[in-house]
Structure 1
Amino acid sequence: MVDASPDPDILIPPLRPGATVAVLAPAGPPRPGRLAPVEAWLSERGYRPRLLPSCYGPPALGFLAASDAQRLADLHAAFTDPEVDAVLALRGGYGCTRLLDELDTALLRRHPKLLIGYSDLTALHAVLDREGLPSLHAPMPASDWGLPGADADTDALFRGLARGWRRGDRLGLALPHPLSRGGAVRGRLIGGNLAVFAALVGTRWLPDCRGALLFLEDVSEEPYRIDRLLTQLRQAGVLGAVAGLVLGSFTDAESPDAVLADQLARLGCPVLAGWPSGHGQPNRPLPLGLMAEMDPVAGTLTLV
């Protein structure tokens, strides 16, 4: 079970040994060979895995792990099942935004669970943030676990789950980066994948960005597409509303810093660049929906 504590400094309680982790596929299907080891990986870490039907398909439309109805049913079931302590996404891809119209947000509020994942899971992180629930931007089994060089990120995830997250925790360290600027600032950590977050603009699912610390990362985006997405966020008033920007990795992108620098020149907020989270390695776990202090000079994010 997830430990409950009256200690106000505990922001995400530890996940105790023997806790049940529901694994579901809310977006794309797993690649061949990536599903079979998941149960063993979780068991080796001391948890009880429960793989839900969406993990097994059948795929829909060629890019969804299962039908919208099945993926939504699994999400609702994972949150309502009293034996489930945390909810882990198998992988990203695409498909979470298709679920939002039918997602029972009142159910999520009544049965709060820690949702773990990143990439397309940005859409679900946004919904949980709007409901006042923290979530975890972190490596996923079918995308990251077991890959060469990924052990440090997976170990960091499980250390965090075993310990929980508390006020005062330093979430990581960004190396000095030419795009970092400004002084320390506090705000609620929101965001995730740039393309998915931008897709929420104009919908009721976009988090309240006023005074927030907005984390952004992406993968395999051409420079003009990064520019287009950031322009959309700027013209929608998102970038002007945040207290600070946290820039993660822009993996497999050609010269992203030039585009980022051009967009940042139009903004006045502090920036912490080179944060070690995103597609690729490192991809350190990052709690979302919690208050943090960003210090671009020290290269730190600290829960407050």
Structure 2
Amino acid sequence: MSSPTYPPKPAPGDRIAIISPSSGLPGVLPLPYELGLKRLREDFGLEPVEYPATRKMGATPQERADDIHAAFADPTIKAVMATIGGDDQITVLPLLDRELIRAHPKPFFGYSDNTNLLIALRNLGIVGYHGAAVMTELGRPYALHPTTADSVRAALFTSGPYELRPVQRYGDTSRDWADPATFDVEPDAQPAEGWVWHQPERVVEGRSWGGNVEILSWLLMADREIERDCAAYEGSVLFLETSEELPSGEEVFRILRNMGERGLLARFPALLMARAKAWSFEQPNNAESKRRYAVEQREAVLRALATYAPHSMAVFDVDFGHTDPQLVIPYGGLVRVDGPARRITVTY
């Protein structure tokens, strides 16, 4: 396993690029976006710098690629953060100037559809950061979640180990971002039952790989960014999360089954599975429906592991991805999963 390259970290007072590699939603829903920018300035001491396509809905893949290149090439920019996800960042990948990015490595923050850019960075040997989009985590209504803020601050400014810890309460429901009243109220939360461990008899340490399950399935279909020789992932730590589109347990099983048929799943001795996003505006599930959805997803993952990676350890309901609070996972960085001690430590 080659050593990952961690880009130099910014410091308070530095400039951070704000880009929309997927959707230009800041141009349609400015309230959470402007709040996120305000918190970058006031809570983190960074100076956000917008690029031409940041607020542009329907920006072409080339326009978005141009913003990525400009952000990485500018020596005064010390980090790059996505505004939000989307569903077509895969169309930007063929337009990336890989050598430009490799020559100017910077910490990149984003998740969901930004799995595309995170995996491209990993393939260049650059550690990225799965989490902390401007509109979602930094633009959270009412206040930054302290758990999220601590993880983002550590990932932005520090280097070294950071222990992830289970949370006491979590939320996955939302209110209308177009309504100013949304931002006057603390988001709803419910008790969290802690992490669920499967076969925790070993300690695994390796470079992380994964991200959003749906995006990985698209990359596999398009035959992009994922090594055909699965031995390249041997000993890595797999981490997976699902989106507000709420893929069914059966769909998650089929995606993992196909990864297993490719020979991928067996390469990962440990899996971190995020707390399932179980509510959306299209499917406003009640508490019992949310519980059932999460159980079905867990059972689907366990079914795939039983067939294709029967010796792998797994941890469910880890707080990353589409959940509140959100812990940042270094993409391509070191992750240590200590089963006997029930501890997860990442290296920022």
- Normalised-by-shorter TM-score class: 0.7 to 0.9
Find the counterpart in structure 1 of residue 17 from structure 2: 22
Find the counterpart in structure 2 of residue 260 from structure 1: 301
Contact 2:40–2:138 at 8 Å: present in 1 too? Answer: no
1:214-260 Cα offsets, whole Å, 9 max, x none, are 10011211112111211121111110122321111221171312212
* TM-fit CA distance, 1:302: 2.5
How far apart in 1 are the matches of 2:341 and 2:117?
31
How far apart in 1 are the matches of 2:135 and 2:88?
16
Find the counterpart in structure 2 of residue 4 from structure 1: none
Residues 16 and 109 of structure 1, relative CA distance in 2, 3 Å threshold: same
Over 4 Å off, 4+ runs: 10-13
Residues 214 and 51 of structure 1, relative CA distance in 2, 3 Å threshold: same
From 30, 33, 36, the counterpart of 1:35? 33
Question: Pairwise mapping of residues 1-304 of structure 1 onto structure 2 (< 5 A)?
Answer: 11=6, 13-30=8-25, 32=29, 33-44=31-42, 45-57=44-56, 59-60=57-58, 66-148=59-141, 151-161=145-155, 163-166=157-160, 169-174=161-166, 175-179=194-198, 181-201=200-220, 203-206=223-226, 208-219=232-243, 220-252=246-278, 254=293, 255-266=296-307, 267=309, 268-303=311-346
Residues 284 and 26 of structure 1, relative CA distance in 2, 3 Å threshold: same
SS of the counterpart of 2:122? helix
Contact 2:16–2:46 at 8 Å: present in 1 too? Answer: yes
How far apart in 2 are the matches of 1:241 and 1:34?
39
How far apart in 2 are the matches of 1:25 and 1:274?
28
Residues 182 and 194 of structure 1, relative CA distance in 2, 3 Å threshold: farther
* TM-fit CA distance, 1:199: 2.2
SS of the counterpart of 2:196? coil
Find the counterpart in structure 1 of residue 188 from structure 2: none
Contact 1:14–1:164 at 8 Å: present in 2 too? Answer: yes
Contact 1:150–1:281 at 8 Å: present in 2 too? Answer: no
Residues 183 and 161 of structure 1, relative CA distance in 2, 3 Å threshold: closer
How far apart in 1 are the matches of 2:87 and 2:301?
24
* TM-fit CA distance, 1:103: 0.9
How far apart in 2 are the matches of 1:226 and 1:103?
29
Residues 102 and 134 of structure 1, relative CA distance in 2, 3 Å threshold: same
How far apart in 1 are the matches of 2:152 and 2:346?
18
| Matched positions, count | 289
1:105-126 Cα offsets, whole Å, 9 max, x none, are 1111101011001111111111
How far apart in 1 are the matches of 2:60 and 2:147?
31
How far apart in 1 are the matches of 2:240 and 2:330?
13
Residues 176 and 38 of structure 1, relative CA distance in 2, 3 Å threshold: closer
Gaps of 5+ in 1: 1-7, 61-65
Q: CA RMSD in A?
A: 2.3
Residues 242 and 178 of structure 1, relative CA distance in 2, 3 Å threshold: closer
Amino acid at match of 1:247: M
* TM-fit CA distance, 1:98: 0.8
SS of the counterpart of 1:287? strand
Structure with a larger share of its residues in helix: 2
* TM-fit CA distance, 1:132: 0.6
SS of the counterpart of 2:34? coil
Percent identity between the aligned chains? 25
* TM-fit CA distance, 1:171: 3.3
Residues 27 and 299 of structure 1, relative CA distance in 2, 3 Å threshold: farther
SS of the counterpart of 1:41? helix
* TM-fit CA distance, 1:195: 1.1
Q: TM-score, normalised by structure 2?
A: 0.77
Amino acid at match of 1:232: N
Find the counterpart in structure 2 of residue 5 from structure 1: none
How far apart in 2 are the matches of 1:154 and 1:118?
14
Amino acid at match of 1:130: N
